[in-house]
Amino acid sequence: MHTETRRTVAKELVDFARLRYAVIEALRADADPERFVIAYRTEQALHDLAAALCLYRFRLLLSRGG
C-alpha cells in the first residue's frame, strides 16, 4: 500500500474513533416514544443539530396554525 494512502487510512480510523453517540427520544402524544442514535464529533455539532431540529419543528407548528 502506498505510504500516503496508509496515512490517509490511519487518519480516517483515528477520526472515526473520536465519534460520540447520543440517544434521542422523540415524544409524541399520539404514539409511543421513538428512540434513535445520532453520531457526532463535538458537543457544538450536537447542539447545532438539536437547534436546527427545534427550529424545524417550530416552523412546522406555525405552518399548521398552532
pTM summary value:
0.52
* CA 15/CA 41 separation, integer angstroms: 9
Mind listing the pLDDT tens digit for each residue in 3-35?
Answer: 555 555 555 555 566 888 888 887 778 889 888
Closest residue by Cα to residue 26 from 18, 17, 35: 35
Helix (H) or strand (E) holding 32: strand 31-40
